[in-house]
Every structure is written in C-alpha cells, then in structure tokens.
Chain A
C-alpha cells in the first residue's frame, strides 16, 4: 500500500474523503428519487442548475457520468454499444458512452436515474443539443433548450434579452413540470450560494499559483464535480471552504503536490479521464506540475459577469460567455491571464477528438502562446473517454521530448 509512505501520505488532499462521501450520497439520492417523489432532471454541465436546486429537483449530469465512465476505463465498451446502434464513432464520446449506458444500464454506477425532464444549454457545444434530443426521444420526456448565442466579437443587447427571456421560459417550464410555483426568495438565496461556491472554487484553483503548488490540475479535475453538479447548495459552499482552507494550510506548511516541483505547466481542454493518473505521474517524474487549467476554471471564469443582487438576469450573460462559447481572440485573453498568474514554463494542450468547440482553433492558440510568450507547447492527440484514440508510446515520446525542450 502506498499509504504507508509518510511523505506520500502528507501530500494527499484530506478533503478527498469528504468529496467521495458527498458524491456517493448524491448519486444514492438521485437513483432513489423514484422512492422519495423528487423529480430528476438531466442537465448539461454548463447549464444553469440554480433554478433546479431552487425547485428541489435533483440535477443529474450525463457529462459527469461520462467522466466517471472514462475514469473507470469503461468507455470503449459503451461507445462501441452506441456505435452498434448506428451512432458514428466520430461523435462525442461522452454522448456515445452515455447512450450506450442508457440501453445497457452498465457503466460504473449501473446507469443514471431516468430523467423526468431534460434541460440542455448549448453554451458548451451544439453536440449536447443533439444528444439531449436523443435522450428526449429515448425516454419520452420533455426537453427545455436554453440557447445561448456565441460571442465572436460582441454579445449584443438582443442576445442578452433573448437569454433573459429564455430564463423566464425555463422557470415556467419547471413550474409546469413540478406543478408548483418558483419561490423567488429561495431562488435568490440559491444564486447567492452559487456565487459563494464559485468564489471559493476559484480560490482553490488560485492556490495553484503558489510555488510550489499545493494542488494540480489533475486534482482539480476530481474536485470539480461539486461545482458542476451541486452549485447553489450550502453543502457545496461548505465543502469548498474546507478545501480552500486545506490549500491555505498546505501553503503554510510548504506541502507541494509534486515533490521537487521544478517546472510549472498549464493544461488546456478536458482531461484524458482514463489516463489522469498516468499523465500526472509521467509529468511528475520530470519534476513538472500542471498548476492550472482552462477547463476547471470555466465555471468560475464568468464570476465578474454575475450580479448577486440580480442573479437571474445577470446569469444570462454569464452563462452565454463561458470559456468555449466565445471566439479564439477572447480565449487567448483568458490564456494570457492564466499564463501570467500561474507563471508557467509551458502549455500542454489536449487535442480532444470528442470536443470540437474546445479543440478546433487550438493550433492558432498554440501559435499565439509561442509567439507572444516564447513558451514551449505540447499538443496531445487523444480523446476524453474513448481509449482507442490514445497511443501510449506516441504520447510518452512526445511528453519526453517536450520536457527536454523545457529543461534545455
């Protein structure tokens, strides 16, 4: 057991246990919803969950489920199931593995609880719309589509008004589905908790800027789950306060996540879920630590756009302008801020076959990073869930070569 090594033991994040506990209870509650009479809504990871929380609906995230499938290395089998059903292999592997799971009730938790209705926000991709249409036909349940216009160079007032209109349509939809009215005081409170949770989460991520970093992007991938699924609850606020405090303590005590941290790197795109440990060890062996990433900060990245006192309406712009629903020139600004804040020596980009809005344009971002900062960059061709798109020997060679460039 690795737990017997006191050095390793010291570096472990203690809050992990609490997190596992919360997530386990959450899934038990979600899967038992039929017995408690609570409604279950499937919602996209970038969608506004706050109105669901305020209406006591249990939000369930097929994308989080996709990540679990990937991390359990069950992706290929479930993706193949979807391919047998006629879904092309070129489609998003979260969608394929989740569709495969819907018909087999396989996967790490024996499938997701059936939805009473679906909420899809296309601020992360057009893929989710098609995926949720599939789910709506398969389960025979209604779908609410929240359409968040993409920002190329501007987000005009008409776009903002369109999203605000839809937020009220969304609430009406929930009132119909739940057979009761929205309690706007409760909604305001959930909004406040959501903002508080996001702030604490951002503080956790900011702690990676400390040298040596008390947390890595690989840890953030794990601790992210609550900000995605249970944003707007007291439990989430409490959890991230605990985690933030633990980071403070680690900084005070000089506990680094990567022993002898020499090189600091930034990660771009979703994780390679079935290889997070392998990748983390691979980089750590070179004394390299992934101190920040563009993915886990996507939720809190829009905090400046949220007005706590007018949560419902201000969230229209915030949800519309998340990291990947904006143009490459806006994305590069975010990357610049992160490169400077985390003071990194290089950028690792996961060119993720499953995620076109995140991945197309990465070559241009890569060029901008190299030209403006003279930083080495590494492009890893892989997929977040489908291991068939991961070539270990090739990636190993490329990481080694990249680290040699950084060291030289």
Chain B
C-alpha cells in the first residue's frame, strides 16, 4: 500500500483504525473536537489524540440531550458516543472552544460513561500577558490531571519528544500544502482532505513515517502550474468533514489550493519552540497562530489574514464553509465578506449540516461560482 493509500484508508474508516490501535497496543485513546487541544501533552502521556468529526449516521439518541438548533458536529459527536460507536475512547478532552462545545462537555461527562474527562478551560482572549499566564497555568494543570487520570508520569523529555514529533508533522503538512498549491494536478484535492483527517486521528509516530514517505514521493514531482488557467479557490471556516466539497469544486473547474480551516492550516501552522519550558512553548504557539473566531485576538486579524492569503496564493475565489448554527463563524462572515468584496474577490457562502446535504445542489452552486470567477 502506498503512503497515500494508507492515509486514505485511515481517513475513510477512522473508528476501525482506532480499534486496531487499541487492540494491538492497548494505548489509551482520547477524543477531541478542537484545534486548541494540547495534543503534545496527550502524546507525551502515552495516549493517542483522536479528532472527532461528528457523524454521517442519523441523529436519534443525541436528540434527547440537544436541541435541533445546535451544530451537526456537536450533535453528531454525542450521537456516536451514545450509540457506542466511540467505545474505543478512554475519554475526551474539551478545551472550551464555543458555547455549544462548552455545554457538550457537561452533557458528555454526565451521559456517556467514559472513564476519564478533561476540561481545559483555556483563555478566550489571547492578547495579554495575564491571558498568557493563565494559559500556561491551565496547561500545567491539564498535565497533572492527565497524569492522574491515566496513571502515568509526563516527563519533560517526553514532552520535548512529542513537541518534536508535532513540529515535524506540521512541517510535512505545510510542505504538502505548499506543493499542492503549486501543483494541483499532482495531488487530488480530496487527498488533502484525507491527509489532514488521517493526521488528526493516526498514531503520530506512524503518521510521521507515512508523511515522510509521501513527501519524498511528491518532492520529485514539484513543478509550477500556478498559471494553468484553472481557478484557484480558498476554503475558510471551521471544520470540513466533506471530501465531496473538494471533488465537486475540482469537477466544476476549480482547485482548492489553500484554506483557513481548523481542520486545515490552523491545525498545522506555527511551530512550538523546542527549547525552554515545554508548556510555555506550547502556550506561545496558541498565542501566535491564526485564531479560530471563537477566540479574541484583534478586531480584523482574520480579515487581514484572508487578504494576505488571497494575494500570496493567487486566489480567484473564496468559499466560506460553515456548519449551520455556528455563531463564531456567522458573526465574522459579513466583515470578512466585506474585506473580500473590497479586494474584488468573489465569494460563496455554504452553511452545511452534515445530515442534510444534497450533492446535486452543491454541484450546481460550485459550477455557478467557478463560472463566475
């Protein structure tokens, strides 16, 4: 199996993959929903962080706990937990995120019966020295809670090693993104989706091996097709759980060449310092990487970031991809769109609910959008 095939197969059946890791290595697996989850600490504790993406199954059990006006990620995650599909998890780590995830944490703790549960209430404001101190203190107490919960000791050496592994993952993902941005025809856009998804669920050492292999293969194919005439599209939003989005845009004559997604660049951008106090180093990455709209870091920082990306990556059009009911994204949309309008960049807004997607509708909307570019 080639590295790409291996990554795709993990991404297509992440729960099966997790179960196989669990049975062969008896490694504790901890779920998470948010890119502010300090995965380095989890990995240093000998556990495997496993990103949760909601569900493609129908929602039934979660309806007894959550109203219909909360996003499909929150409802879908709970559904999979209540139906036992996540029984391979020892527990979940909740780093606050947003109002809905905050309540999901309570509902999860009170109803799923998982043996451990961690709330890492990070600061929402990321601009001050006091927020930094609080973030460091919170990460430190997460480190001790994790030690207690899993019955392990997390040494500084293990933290340095985990940080090194993650930095390597970030570097490789960044290389692959940059490659794909210049050579869209050499790597299917949906493969970017599969690579990212696999990166968030795989055993991270195994992941580094596969990404290394993949990058070695790709590196030799590098050319530059930025002027191929196909339209260059950027995706922005929260999570993307839909490989179809990439494929449909590709079919319509566009290439997704970059993104500002929490399951995309926000996941891998920014390195953690490999010297000094490891926890402080982890905190400093969160304080400097591009924010999720549920965090506070300047009034127009996301808009300026988008403009910069559009220029750097020679973007022809921007697709806003939000989960329906996502408030942090919804509040930012008008100003971000305004920034794009003023720069003459066409945009398309898609609010999706995982259980309610019509491929035909999506196809038409993408075709119209790409034609317009």
Contact = CB atoms under 8 A, between A and B. Distances in A.
B300 A130 contact: no
Contact of A87 (B67, B111, B334): B334
B328 A130 contact: yes
Contacts of A129: 124, 296
Contacts of B133: 158, 161-162, 165
B277 to A, nearest CB: 16
A59 to B, nearest CB: 21
A149 interface: yes
Contacts of B299: 133, 136-137, 143
A232 to B, nearest CB: 24
B46 interface: no
Interface string A117-149: 000001001110111011011000001010101
B106 interface: yes
Size range of the interface on A?
A: 35 or more
B98 A126 contact: yes
A363 B119 contact: no
Interface string A163-184: 0011001000000000000000
A88 B134 CA distance: 33
B128 A131 contact: no
Contacts of A90: 69, 324-327, 330
Given A130-B327, A360-B67, A328 B107 contact: yes
A152 B325 contact: no
Query: Which of B111, B125, B337 has the most chain A CB within a 10 Å cutoff?
Result: B125
Contacts of B333: 86-88
B290 interface: no
Interface in B129-157: 130-131, 133-134, 137-138, 141
B110 A158 contact: no
A364 interface: yes
B331 A133 contact: yes
A91 B130 contact: no
A145 B67 contact: no
Contacts of A264: none
B130 A359 contact: no
Contacts of A122: 124
Contact of A150 (B121, B327, B330, B331): B121
Contacts of B65: 361, 363-364
B60 interface: no
Contacts of B102: 126, 150, 357
A356 interface: yes
B121 A149 contact: yes
B332 interface: yes
A388 interface: no
A27 B64 CA distance: 44
A125 B327 CA distance: 11
Choose among B65, B107, B327 the residue with the greatest number of A CB atoms under 10 Å from its CB: B327
Nearest to A363: B65
Interface in B68-114: 69-70, 94, 96, 98-100, 102-107, 109-111
A158 B138 contact: yes
Contacts of A356: 69-70, 99-100, 103, 327
A151 to B, nearest CB: 8
A159 interface: yes
B294 interface: yes
Nearest to B118: A152
Given A91-B327, A149-B121, A137 B100 contact: no
A202 B207 CA distance: 58
B244 interface: no
A152 B121 contact: yes
A242 interface: no
A359 B67 contact: yes
B107 A159 contact: no
Interface residues of B, number: 52
A212 B93 CA distance: 48
A106 B299 CA distance: 26
Contacts of A381: 67
B103 A147 contact: no
B106 A328 contact: yes
Interface in B316-373: 322, 324-328, 330-335, 337, 351
A85 B69 CA distance: 22
A377 interface: no
Contacts of B326: 90
A127 B293 contact: no
Nearest to B293: A130
A131 B327 CA distance: 10
A134 B331 contact: yes
B346 to A, nearest CB: 15
Nearest to B124: A147
Nearest to B322: A88
A351 interface: yes
Contacts of A351: 67
A149 B138 CA distance: 11
Interface string A186-230: 000000000000000000000000000000000000000000000
A85 B337 CA distance: 10
A131 B296 CA distance: 12
A108 B94 CA distance: 42
Contacts of B110: 328-329, 364
Contacts of B330: 87-88, 90-91
A87 B349 CA distance: 12
B372 to A, nearest CB: 18
Contacts of B325: 90
A276 interface: no
B335 A134 contact: yes
B123 A361 contact: no
A149 B124 CA distance: 8
A156 interface: yes
B96 A150 contact: yes
Contact of B131 (A134, A143, A162, A359): A162
23 contacts: A87-B330, A88-B322, A90-B327, A91-B327, A127-B327, A127-B331, A130-B327, A130-B331, A130-B332, A131-B331, A150-B102, A152-B105, A156-B138, A158-B133, A159-B134, A161-B133, A162-B131, A327-B105, A329-B106, A356-B99, A357-B99, A361-B65, A363-B64
Given A158-B141, A328-B110, A364-B106, 18 more contacts: A86-B334, A87-B330, A91-B327, A126-B294, A127-B331, A130-B332, A133-B332, A134-B334, A143-B299, A152-B94, A158-B133, A158-B134, A327-B106, A329-B106, A351-B67, A356-B69, A359-B69, A360-B67
Interface of B: 64-67, 69-70, 94, 96, 98-100, 102-107, 109-111, 119, 121, 123-125, 128, 130-131, 133-134, 137-138, 141, 293-294, 296, 299-300, 322, 324-328, 330-335, 337, 351
Interface of A: 85-88, 90-92, 95, 122, 125-127, 129-131, 133-134, 136-137, 143, 145, 147, 149-150, 152-153, 156, 158-159, 161-162, 165-166, 169, 327-329, 351, 353, 356-357, 359-364, 381
5 closest residue pairs by CB, A with B: A130-B331, A158-B137, A86-B334, A162-B134, A165-B130
